[in-house]
Structure 1
Amino acid sequence: MERSELNDLMAFATAAAERSFTRAAARLGISPSALSHAMRGLEARLDVRLLARTTRSVAPTVAGEQLLLSLTPALAQIEQGLDALAQWRDSLSGTVRITASSYAAQTVLSEKLPAFLLDHPHVRVEVNVEDRLTDIVAEGFDAGIRFHVSVEKDMIAIPVGPPLRTVVVGTPAYFARYPRPETPDDLKNHLCINYRMKSGAVMAWEFDHDEREFAVRTGGQFIANDGNLMAAAVRAGAGLGFIMEQDVADDLAAGRLIQVLDDWCLPFPGCHLYHSSRRQSPPALRALIAALRV
């Protein structure tokens, strides 16, 4: 097999995984037009259509899916072989692809990743920030970082952030208008700032008391899908917020916000890095885990 054909097969696998010439070209470091030209050439040489193209996306044909069944594990084996060569070098190298929630990116990665990059100049790290749950195996990521509750049970999960706690807070001006709630059931009489999730559902406020977990659906004037905008509304006195304790620690210490229902808000496991238990972790990923873990 010629080297150019191997490159084209790798490009085909990337395009099939990304379902987009634009995203696949960005991963490969080439232009979308160059990728499209390479795919037309590969299909001409093989005399079979591998990708079905539309104006918005691409997808493997039946023949393309058949090729991927043997091509994907072969490429993965080649990549693992190349990564294994790192043990013969004086310094680590290779690429680590991570998917992370926006919260994990702002807290865990922004704090620890820059130092890792400086310590390992030959390791390339790609981070894709999105809040939807991601199938890291199907989408070609080496690992993901999410809240522990979101991690599938068949994954290896390593803590990379401290335990967290979500607390109910409001301003003194708000509590001058409304009595402080004594139990979560009292929240039905309050204006609550609520979060709209990607699924379209409004997130419930979850509490834990006497070893009993339960969720409360709250109402109010304002619903948003942006945490900063919601926090601004809470700080302005427009309603109660259900916010990460560490994000309002300064406000609580200064008296700008008042915490209520403290006994009902218990800590929970924070951000965890997770990766497949069925794949050997490359050295670069193991080094990154060591740098991030707590």
Structure 2
Amino acid sequence: MITEPEAVTSPMIRENITDLIAFAAVAEERSFTRAAARLNVSQSALSHTIKGLEQRLGLRLLTRTTRTVAPTLEGEDLLATLNPCFERIENRLQALNETRDEPTGTVRIVAVEYAIESILWPKLSPMLRKYPAVNVELVMEYEYTDLAHSRCDAGVRYGDQVAEGMIAMRIGPDERMICVGAPSYFATAKTPEHPNDLTEHACINLRLSNHGALYAWEFEDEEGKEIRVKVEGQATFNTINTVIRAALDGHGLACVPERLAKPHLDAGTLKTCLDAYCPSFPGFHLYYPSRQRSSSAFEVVLEALRHRD
């Protein structure tokens, strides 16, 4: 039999848990806008929830300015208590899910567009048909994303760019950046014989999203010594597919992944130059924290993505 005090307090406990989840999201994101998107609620509703929680507790949990949101000392103390509790609950729910016969769960992976289109989706698409209870979310980012901050389970980088302390698994073959141009461009410009000749050519630039600088084209001489060339041209993009589009339109030379250019090379709509100076390097690797507790969904994703020669 439920006593009257339990009937009164149970809804309050449930309300507090929901509001505490909202507070943790705002405190971690340092933004009502990002937290609202994460929780799939409106910004005004989230602000109302936090105000109600602060009023019930009689404490100010967040300091708000026009630009930032940060936890107060009391908010930091509450967050330090909440995070381990939420983590234990998530781990327990995950363990319960794993008692089922079929793999289940959601795996979020952050990667550049090229990796998503050329490797991740072609390998994961058949896996999703095989395991209907497994979900994947592919997040396109060109910056070096912090997995914990982005709430992603894993990320994709070239093998020589994976940070220390991460587990890395090869998911693709070695890559090579090559210099290409349209036949129409080569018809009006002399073919470069050395990377330094590129300074005399119209080139299509790629702006790197992680720090905003232009990508310096990288080559190697016959002795393995690195040659870096900063090129100039009328067109600059921050995605590799648009760089290729501009090259196809004859706006200049481009430095692009060989596998991405191959269909155009086979069709004759692009031609290469400086091949002897274009070395290969470790291809895409999936990386994730060594402390990550592996779920059944994550295991089948790993198996699907593993590179096989």
Match of 1:200 among 200, 205, 212: 212
Quote the residue 2:46 is aligned against.
35
TM-score when normalising by structure 2: 0.85
Gaps of 5+ in 1: none
Quote the residue 2:102 is aligned against.
91
CA distance in 1, matches of 2:47, 2:144: 30
Cα deviations by residue, 1:187-227 (Å, 9 ceiling, x for unpaired): 12221111122222111001133333332112223222233
Quote the residue 1:146 is aligned against.
157
Match of 1:250 among 253, 263, 268: 263
249-258 vs 50-59, which deviates more? 50-59
Match of 1:263 among 276, 283, 287: 276
Quote the residue 2:120 is aligned against.
109
Pairwise CA RMSD? 2.3
SS in 2 for 1:137: helix
Q: CA deviation at 1:57?
A: 5.5
CA distance in 2, matches of 1:95, 1:9: 23
CA distance in 1, matches of 2:263, 2:45: 52
Compared with structure 1, are the counterparts of its residues 118 and 231 closer, same or farther at alpha carbon in structure 2 (3 Å cutoff)?
Answer: same
* Count of residues paired in the alignment: 294
Q: CA deviation at 1:56?
A: 6.0
TM-score when normalising by structure 1: 0.89
Where do residues 109-128 of structure 1 align in structure 2 (5 Å cutoff)? 109-128=120-139
SS in 2 for 1:256: coil
Which amino acid counterpart does residue 49 of structure 2 have in structure 1? A
Which amino acid counterpart does residue 29 of structure 2 have in structure 1? E
Match of 2:146 among 130, 135, 141: 135
Q: Would you say 1:4 and 2:15 are equivalent positions?
A: yes
Quote the residue 2:195 is aligned against.
184
CA distance in 2, matches of 1:128, 1:238: 30
Match of 2:233 among 201, 220, 223: 220
Quote the residue 1:67 is aligned against.
78
CA distance in 2, matches of 1:127, 1:289: 14
Quote the residue 1:24 is aligned against.
35
Compared with structure 1, are the counterparts of its residues 4 and 283 closer, same or farther at alpha carbon in structure 2 (3 Å cutoff)?
Answer: farther
SS in 1 for 2:187: helix
CA distance in 1, matches of 2:202, 2:145: 33
Q: Which structure would you say has the larger Rg?
A: 2
Q: Does structure 1 retain, via aligned residues, the 8 Å contact 2:104–2:134?
A: yes
Runs of 4+ in structure 1 deviating by more than 6 angstroms, as ranges, are none
Gaps of 5+ in 2: 1-9
60-69 vs 188-197, which deviates more? 60-69
Q: Does structure 2 retain, via aligned residues, the 8 Å contact 1:16–1:59?
A: yes
Quote the residue 1:275 is aligned against.
288
Which amino acid counterpart does residue 244 of structure 1 have in structure 2? P
